[in-house]
Structure 1
C-alpha cells in the first residue's frame, strides 16, 4: 500500500502513527505541496479534493482522508484496537476524536491560514484579527485539556486511541509551524504529552520540534 505524504503535514502523520501502532508498513510517496503536486490531474484522479493523505491500495483503488484511512487499517489489522472495542467505547472515542478535530484543530487551522507562512506563499490575504482570536481560543483549549487530564490518563479514557493521535499531531503542528505552544504550568497536559510523544510510533514519525522543551 502507498501513502501519499508530505513530511511535517499533520494529517499524513496521523496515518503514519496509526500504521506504526499496528505494525503496518506503508510505502511513502512524497507529494510536494510547495509544487502543488496535490492539485495535478493525476493526483486529482486519486482524490478529487486535492488533499493529502491518500492511501492507494495494491489494486489501484484509493482512500482519502486520514480518519477514513485509519478505519480501513483498523479493519485489516484489528489489534491493537484504536477505535473502540464495544458500542460505548466506539461512540466515546469517536466523540472525543471529533472534539479534537472540530474544536482544537479548527482553531489551529485558522491561525495557520492567517499566519506568516501562508501569507508568504501569497495564496490568500491573511486576517490578523482572525488569527488573534483563534490564537486565544487555542490557549483556552490548552487550559481545558489540562483540566481534563487531571482526571484521565488519555484523551478518551484509560488507553491510547485515535483521539490521542489526533491531539498529539495537532499540538506538534501548532507548536512547530503556527507558534502556539501550551503555556508553562499546564502540568497535566505536559504529563500526557510526554507520555504519548515518547511512544515509538510517535517518535518515528516526528519531523518537527515537540510542543514542550
Structure 2
C-alpha cells in the first residue's frame, strides 16, 4: 500500500498521524509514504491525476491497484483492515461519537482555523484581513463550545478513557 501525500497538508497529516499512532501501539503497517511535490505542480500531472482525478492529496493506493481518496475513508479502511489495536473501538455508540467528533473538528473547525491563520499571519505572505479573522473566530465558537461541553462532565478525553 502507498500513501501519496504532502507533509503538513491537513488531510494527509491526519492519515500520517493515524499511521504513527497505530505503529506506536506496536502494529507495523506496510504503507510506503510518497511525497507529491505540489510546489512543482506534480499533483496536476497525468501520473497523479490517474491516482486522484481531483489533483489533491492524499491518495491511498491499495494492494490491488485501487485508490481511496479521502483521509477519513483511508482511516476507516485501515481500522477494518487491521482491527487488532484499533484506535476507534468500543460500542457502536462509542465509535459513532468518535467519528462524529472527528467530523465536527474537520468540517467545522479545521478549515476555519487554517483560514484564520491566513487572515491573521499568513505563511504565504498574504496581507492581514482583520474583518475576515473576526468572522472566522466567531464561526469557530459554536463547535468549540460543543466540545468543551462534552468535557464538562469530568472526562479526560472527548471519547473513550485513554489516548
Structure 2: which 5+ runs fail to align?
none
Distance 1:109 1:39 in 2: 23
Higher relative contact order (CA 8 A, sep 6+): 1
Q: Does 1:134 align with 2:136?
A: yes
Larger gyration radius, structure 1 or structure 2? 2
Q: Does 1:117 align with 2:123?
A: yes
Distance 2:119 2:41 in 1: 19
Listed as ranges, the matches of 1:39-188 within 5 Å are 39-112=44-117, 114=119, 116-118=122-124, 120=126, 128-138=130-140, 145-146=147-148, 148-150=150-152, 151-160=154-163
Query: Between Structure 1 and Structure 2, which shows a larger proportion of helix residues?
Result: 1
- 1:119 CA drift (Å): 5.5
Q: Cα RMSD over matched residues?
A: 2.7
Structure 1: which 5+ runs fail to align?
161-213
Q: Which residue of 2 aligns with 1:20?
A: 20
SS in 1 for 2:17: helix
SS in 1 for 2:89: coil
Please report the TM-score for the alignment, with normalisation by the length of structure 2: 0.78
